[in-house]
Amino acid sequence: MQKGKLFFNIIIAITIIALVSIIGYVAYYYIDKHIELKEAEKVIEEFKNEVIVVGIEEEPNNEVTETPQPSEQPTSQKNVNVSYKNYSVIGLIEIPKTKVEALIVDSVTPQSITAAVGVLYGAGLNQVGNTVLAAHNYRNGTFFSNNKKLVNGDKIYITDNRGQKIEYSIYNTYITGDMDFSYATRNTNGKREISLSTCTTDPTKRLVIWAKEN
């Protein structure tokens, strides 16, 4: 009887330790992600401010009577020079429907996409051709978590580090295998396009979205 009680107490103690460890890990994970997102928000503001400065430096002296559309905004020969986690920030992506505003960095690595969107392949932001942007599906509403809610006609805005902001419209969404990369090399017929790529609940699948300049 005494041995049974001792064994029961040991099991209870192990269970409590395990629960505390799990709770501690989860708390650390979310606190760490929260800190990363706050850091990214500061860099977003820095990037926006730098883009404004570039725009002022390049603004012509003649009076502008009409507000330019996103794809018509003047660009600068001077690039905004902002970094995040030792990666170059080359742009900003905004997806109004899913309330996403995130930095775009120049490469995709496990470190670069912890709190940013990365350029995986392509011509470059707002360049003629197709540019593939990859980001995590954290399933918490950040980055590409809600890309599954996007449909044809929804808008995506890309601001590059020359201050040019272009509006893209989604025209194709589908799920494919993780080994399929044919969407990246598609012919855009001389148009500017982007592809968004993220994982699904199945790690062997990818949700891919195509969007073209309006």
Name all domains of the chain by residue range, CATH numbers in brackets. Answer: 34-213 (2.40.260.10)
Q: How confident is the model at residue 67 (pLDDT cuts 50, 70, 90)?
A: very low
Residue scoring higher pLDDT (200 or 114): 200
**Average pLDDT over all residues of the chain:** 83
- Average pLDDT in the 153-165 region? 95
Q: Give me the pLDDT at residue 186, please.
A: 94
Question: Could you give the CA distance from residue 96 to residue 168 in angstroms, rounded to a whole number?
Answer: 12
Q: Which of 47-56, 80-89, 197-206 has the highest mean pLDDT?
A: 197-206
pLDDT tens-place string over residues 96-146:
999 999 999 998 998 888 889 999 999 999 999 999 999 999 877 789 999
Phi and psi, residue 104, nearest 5°: -115, 125
Residues sharing a CB contact under 8 Å with residue 49, sequence separation 6 or more, in sequence order: none
Q: pTM of the prediction?
A: 0.75
Residues sharing a CB contact under 8 Å with residue 1, sequence separation 6 or more, in sequence order: none
